[in-house]
Amino acid sequence: LDEAAEMDGCGKGNIFFRIILPQITPALITAAIFSFYWTWEDFLTPLIYLNEPKLYTVSLALRAFSDPSGQTDWGAIFAMSSLSLVPVFVIFVAFQRYLVEGISTTGLKG
């Protein structure tokens, strides 16, 4: 497609923004969603680098509710777990049409 557009007189910038970018948008959105989710749910990396409780991520804050002496506040853990899923769910719902578009157009030519 890019060679055909170049033969028709389209410049490099227009080829990228008008032809290539619209076709790879579903893949870019899918990669962004997965990247956000994997970063949001990461436990080991913040555990290694963060040492102040005010800088903790959601997964480390959940661990802080668990007490090794046996007095675990399960209600707070379940409430925080539920609330930690809200941003992931909102981002998925906002961009799910790109996921479906990417799945439905995979393997189709032209």
Domain boundaries, the chain: 25-104
Mean pLDDT for 25-33 is 86
Q: Which residues contact 14 (CB under 8 A, 6 or more apart)?
A: 5
Q: Can you tell me the distance from the alpha carbon of 65 to that of 75, in angstroms, rounded to the nearest whole number?
A: 10
Q: List helix spans (H) across the chain.
A: 2-7, 12-15, 21-40, 44-49, 58-65, 74-104
Dump pLDDT digits (tens) for 66-89: 777 778 888 888 998 899 889 989
The two tokens of residue 51 are 């040492």
State the pTM of this model. Answer: 0.68
The answer to whether 88 touches 38, Cβ cutoff 8 Å, is no
Give the closest residue to 95 by CA, choosing from 25, 19, 24.
25
Give the closest residue to 98 by CA, choosing from 28, 38, 19.
28
Residue 95 in this model has a pLDDT that exceeds 60: yes
pLDDT of residue 33: 86
